[in-house]
Amino acid sequence: MKWNKLTIETTTAAEDMLSYELSEMGMEGVEIEDHVPLSEEDRKIMYVDLLPDEIAPDDGKARISCYVDEKEDLQAVIAKIKAKIEELSAFLPMGSGEITLGVTEEEDWINNWKVFFKPFRLDDNIVIKPTWETLSDKKDDDIVIEIDPGTAFGSGSHETTKLCISQLKKYIKKDTELLDVGTGSGILSIIGLKLGAHHAMATDIDPNAIRATNENFAINEVSEQAEVQQVNILDKEEADSFYEKNNGKKYDVIVANILADVIIPLSGIVAPLLKDDGVFITSGIINTMEEAVKEAMLANHFEILEINHMKDWVSITAKKA
């Protein structure tokens, strides 16, 4: 089987956001090439022991590649990517945005890339590991989540996911009812349940995310405590239907690791789904949008409990005022 390889010329300032968006669009095997020096944490996660003596200086340029099934409508995919680049250019330097096309055999990446992915720790006791790997250094209190990276919607290594997880660890209790909006791979729902939540409801608008989440629920043996529904919470009719279908259920914790442009309108809709003493955890907010999200939260009668930062990303946790 052959795959179309799309390579996008962009900038290091935009590479995180663009790669995140490509993953959200269901692009396979997202790769980033740049000259940004590796941090010590990166070296540990990527198992990099040796580097060349001479490394090209960071020039601010980046190249992002992804793979598209040859059966897909390639021009439609390219048009969708170009539209996303145009959207992101409103607040990020995107570079030329030029897209080049190549072709590769499935064997070249669908299996061989696995050698580069090893189990990694998100913090002291949460470990993400691919399904094909074994964990040699497992501790008694480790929470092990099995997610295959590169297959769909995030494996937990992105800063926005880490920010959400730190808040889930703080607010999840044994009787917590969790709502995960824009679930992607289901990773936050799974971690919430492993932390002791009673039940998780995961939602997404993408049928691919629904399928991936159901698979990951099964792999991590949480299917009996979890449910996933395809719904656009931002659409009033769909939101009302979701509310009625679930008998007006309210949640102790609502988590949304999406984007600021979604969180802003979501803050005006989500209150009826949140218990009076519940918390609304948000992430996926680029730092240039922090003030806009804060203003939306306050305008929609939320009290901000805390704001956390990791690199260029922001997490805001709030409750009803």
Radius of gyration of the chain (CA): 20
Query: What average pLDDT does this structure show over 84-113?
Result: 83
Phi, psi of 219 (to 5 degrees): -60, -40
Number of Cβ within 10 Å of residue 25's Cβ equals 16
Rounded Cα–Cα distance for residues 289 and 285 (Å): 6
Which pLDDT does position 208 carry in this prediction? 80
Rounded Cα–Cα distance for residues 30 and 2 (Å): 16
Opening angle at CA 166, ends 164 and 170, nearest 5: 110
Q: String of b and e for 188-213 (b: at least 16 CB within 10 Å)?
A: bbbbbbbbebebbbbbbebeebbebb
Strand order in the sheet with 61-69: 28-34, 61-69, 2-11, 99-105
Residue ranges in the chain assigned as alpha helix (H): 12-24, 40-46, 74-88, 159-171, 187-194, 207-219, 236-245, 260-266, 290-299
Cβ–Cβ under 8 Å, residues 160 and 136: no
**Helices 74-88, 12-24: inter-axial angle, 10-degree rounding:** 130
The residues, ordered by sequence, that sit 6+ positions from 67 with a Cβ below 8 Å of its Cβ are 3, 4, 5, 6, 27, 28, 29, 104, 109
For residue range 124-178, list pLDDT tens digits in order: 899 988 888 888 888 899 999 998 765 444 555 578 888 999 999 999 999 999 9
Name the nearest CA neighbour of 145 among 159, 133, 153. 133
CATH topology of domain 2-114: Alpha-Beta Plaits (3.30.70)
Does residue 80 surpass a pLDDT of 50? Answer: yes
Q: Domain map of the chain by residue range?
A: 2-114, 125-320
Cβ–Cβ under 8 Å, residues 241 and 234: no
Tell whether pTM > 0.85.
Answer: no
Number of Cβ within 10 Å of residue 180's Cβ equals 30
Average pLDDT, the chain: 87
Cβ–Cβ under 8 Å, residues 82 and 94: no
For residue range 240-258, list pLDDT tens digits in order: 899 999 999 999 999 999 9
H or E element that contains 202: strand 199-204
Cβ–Cβ under 8 Å, residues 229 and 203: yes
Q: Which of 2-11, 54-63, 124-133, 206-215 has the highest mean pLDDT?
A: 2-11
Phi, psi of 224 (to 5 degrees): -75, -20
Can you identify the CATH homologous superfamily of domain 125-320?
Answer: Vaccinia Virus protein VP39 (3.40.50.150)
Instruction: Return binding residues.
Output: 161, 182, 204, 257
For residue range 210-221, list pLDDT tens digits in order: 988 999 999 999
Rounded Cα–Cα distance for residues 80 and 78 (Å): 5
Instruction: Return binding residues for S-adenosyl-L-methionine.
Output: 161, 182, 204, 257
